[in-house]
Amino acid sequence: MHPKTLTIALAGNPNSGKTTIFNNITGTRQKVGNWPGVTVEKKEGSVTKYDYNLKIIDLPGTYSLTPFSIEEIVARNYVLDEKPDVVIDIIDASNLERSLYLATQLRELDCKVLFALNMADLARSRGMKIDDQKLSELLGVPVVFTVGNKNEGVDKLLEKTIELAESQIGSAKVRKVKYSKDIEDSIDRLQQFIQDQTDDTLPYNIRWTAIKLLEDDKIVKERIVEKAENSGQQILQVARTLRKRLEDLFDDEPQIVMTDERYGFIAGIIKEVQTTSIKQRIDISRNIDLLLTNRFIGFPIFVFFIWAMFQLTFTLGEHPVGWLETGIGWLSGIIEVILPDGLFEDLVVDGIIAGVGSVIVFLPNILILFFCIALFEDTGYMARSAFLMDKIMHLIGLHGKSFIPMLMGFGCNVPAIMATRTLESEKDRILTILITPFMSCSAKLPVYIILAGAFFGVKAGTVIFSIYLLGVVLSIITGRFFRSTLLKGADAPFVMELPPYRIPMLKSLLIHMWDRSKIFLKKMGKVILVGSAIVWVLSVFPRNIQYSVDYATKKDKLIASYNSQMQNVSEADKQQLEIEKDAAVAALDKARQSEQAERSFIGRMGKAIAPLFAPLGIDWRGGVALLTGFVAKEIVISTMGVLHAVGDEDESEALKNALSASGMTPLSALAMMVFVLLYLPCLATTTAIKKETGSYKWMFFSIGYSTSMAWFMAFLVYQGGKLLGYN
């Protein structure tokens, strides 16, 4: 017999530890996508436990089920329409009053609910004692204590969940929320009317439907009209009458009155189940915040953390990058032995391996960067960064909450732009979307590492940090300009919860790191591979090139000349002449490859656009590489790898040497880094801009503005540096 499958939904407030528990249960057995019809991220995983297949659905984090935001609608609709076997509500035990608002709403849905009092250790450290038995008795739900970041109580939670799912008892008939007499009378009257009109044909609990109609819930009203075709309008008319009566009685909207009464109900529960010792322990998070969010030293500490992240990314990733380079060089050698000489071998070695290899060697750097971002998120410091940036963001008419998508842009601009939908104002969303591409995504990092490593040596980490910092500064200047011209509007108020600091779980950090890195690896097998092959084809055709020099004859004469000189010399001189001969032959081969590349299709393209990039100190190869970067920024490096023919050596080291030999200087390398930082977003990002703004106008504006800004700033760096005597 196959194990029985149960569907379990995880609900909870943001920062309640819901994702940590989801990761603990599912591990790497997760699928990430979007909910049908919306762009809110959907996570689901599976695990086999106690002879059951458990399908775990991670609902979007939300403070309530009132249908205002997309997240709230998605969470509520899933519970109502999909009817999971059990809903686990992850409750922050150290913030019980706030968490119970969502919990009471879930109870009103009449589904099987289980409460997980998470972060129980934090509650204890604050001197809070919660009577779980009493809470279970009052609300009629099982209650389990958990400590998500230590994986405590998770097994018991699953055991109780299965037990609840298999119980024959429906949801407890304990009164969910006790409203005042007038409201209860209205609920009863409307409930009875709905029952008489529909004969229990509605898909939802009748009492809950009556409550939602009194609260003027738009979605439930639509469902009533849809499901009760004959009597839908009558039900809505009765609901309007009762709602008007309540409004006259309380001199306020019924939904506000009912919200107040829910909180009153919750306050009564808190008094019954929670006690706080007189000698509360010192709030560690608050004490840490005295330092990390201090008005004078908080921002310098934040800048130091960001600098350390990039320094760590560059220095710690150096050794594994070297190992990957060696592996790719070994693979190239094996392929050369296996495949016969010819065009196909050149495609595989000089096209695919050179192109993809030039990018994939930077996987360790990408992993380290994503690990650091996950560390910021899981410790709670990400929210502090928004708080610290609030004053700076107000300079451009935004608030600190807009900085979170921008900081996410260091990983990838696509989810960063999608994250702007949490901003309430449309102008705030558009403004944040327009400046987010100035945040250097991980795809640009390999370009910085190659150029900074080739031309700036031990200062490479600091140079890369400066490039990232320039992106932030220019985004602020751009934002101020747009807020004063295109997107005028008042500053939005900023209210954001600062979650308590937590010790992150290594397992959770690794899962977050891997989820983001999978996108990078998928590009290797699709976009980068195809792009590298296309660039190689364009760089080796046409084949019938008329060279300016007969390289084959010149090479033969060169070898013959050196061989003649070595006949009558000492052994030491012979070795020296052998070295000189190899160097001369290599230089001749390089000259032939260079001329062949210049006369190829891609070389002709490069020569055509060369005047555009010449004032920036970028040669035709760099221009072509930047052009191909529109598809994906990783292709910039793979294009340079193909054009410089580095497939038979250590990838990044060979490319660094080739760039140095090509005449590029530290100043032109810096100008190219600035251009890569700012110019048009990749294809995926431009698509996201169109989708989130709903307008081609803003997409093309973003492309035009960012590319113009990139050219101007790179010109300023290169020409300004030359005037100051740098090269």
The 10s digit of each residue's pLDDT in 504-554 is 778 778 877 877 677 667 766 666 677 777 777 887 788 777 777 888 888
649 pLDDT exceeds 70?
no
**Can you name the residues that pair with 46 across neighbouring β-strands?**
55
Mean pLDDT of the chain, nearest integer: 80
Question: CA gyration radius for the chain?
Answer: 32
- 718 is written with which tokens? 């290169």
Q: Work out whether the CA dihedral 508, 510, 513, 515 comes out positive or negative.
A: negative
Which own/partner contact pairs does 579-585 have at CB distance under 8 Å and 24+ positions apart?
584/558, 585/555, 585/558, 585/559
Model confidence band, residue 647 (pLDDT cutoffs 50, 70, 90): very low
Which residue, among 498, 255, 469, has the nearest Cα to 400 in the 3D structure?
498
State the fold for domain 181-276: Helix Hairpins (1.10.287)
Classified as helix, coil or strand, 276 is strand
DSSP letter at 352 equals I
The pLDDT of residue 676 is 92
pTM value surpassing 0.85 = no
Q: Name, in order, each residue with C-beta under 8 angstroms of 631's C-beta and a sequence gap of 6 or more.
A: 527, 531, 682, 683
**Can you name the residues that pair with 8 across neighbouring β-strands?**
56, 86
Domain residue ranges of the chain, discontinuous segments joined by +: 4-166, 181-276, 542-595
Q: Name, in order, each residue with C-beta under 8 angstroms of 127's C-beta and a sequence gap of 6 or more.
A: 276, 277, 278, 279, 280, 281
The pLDDT of residue 172 is 47
The pLDDT of residue 602 is 80
Q: Where are the alpha helices (DSSP H) in 437-497?
A: 445-455, 460-484
**Can you name the residues that pair with 42 across neighbouring β-strands?**
33
- 3-state helix vs strand vs coil in the chain, percent to 5: 70, 5, 25
Classified as helix, coil or strand, 338 is helix
How far is it, in rounded angstroms, from Cα 444 to Cα 459? 18
Is the bond leading into 542 cis (omega within 30 degrees of zero)?
yes
pLDDT mean over 468-478: 87
Window from 35-39, 433-437, 529-533, 696-700 with minimum mean pLDDT: 35-39
**Does residue 40 contact residue 60 with C-beta atoms inside 8 Å?**
yes
**Which of the pair, 137 or 718, is modelled with greater confidence?**
718
pLDDT mean over 602-617: 87
How far is it, in rounded angstroms, from Cα 89 to Cα 120? 14
pLDDT mean over 563-568: 81
- 395 is written with which tokens? 């300079």
Model confidence band, residue 281 (pLDDT cutoffs 50, 70, 90): very low
How far is it, in rounded angstroms, from Cα 685 to Cα 689? 6
Model confidence band, residue 294 (pLDDT cutoffs 50, 70, 90): confident
- 455 is written with which tokens? 């031309």
**Does residue 64 contact residue 105 with C-beta atoms inside 8 Å?**
yes
Q: Which percentage of the chain shows pLDDT scores above 70?
A: 87
pLDDT mean over 84-93: 91
The pLDDT of residue 263 is 83
- 371 is written with which tokens? 């690990």
pLDDT mean over 235-253: 86
Which residue, among 408, 508, 477, 365, has the nearest Cα to 28 in the 3D structure?
508
- 416 is written with which tokens? 């960063």
pLDDT mean over 231-246: 86
How far is it, in rounded angstroms, from Cα 592 to Cα 551? 7
718 pLDDT exceeds 90?
yes
Q: What is the dihedral of CA 62, 68, 69, 73, to 10 degrees?
A: 70
Strand arrangement, sheet containing 86-92: 30-34, 41-49, 52-58, 4-12, 86-92, 113-118, 143-145
Q: Name, in order, each residue with C-beta under 8 angstroms of 564's C-beta and a sequence gap of 6 or more.
A: none
**Does residue 690 contact residue 703 with C-beta atoms inside 8 Å?**
no
Which residue, among 379, 375, 312, has the nearest Cα to 510 in the 3D structure?
375
- If one counts every other C-beta atom within 10 angstroms of the C-beta of residue 233, the result is 12
46 pLDDT exceeds 50?
yes
How far is it, in rounded angstroms, from Cα 491 to Cα 488? 10
Model confidence band, residue 648 (pLDDT cutoffs 50, 70, 90): very low
Quote the CATH superfamily of domain 4-166: P-loop containing nucleotide triphosphate hydrolases (3.40.50.300)
pLDDT mean over 297-303: 86
Element (H, E) at 219: helix 218-227
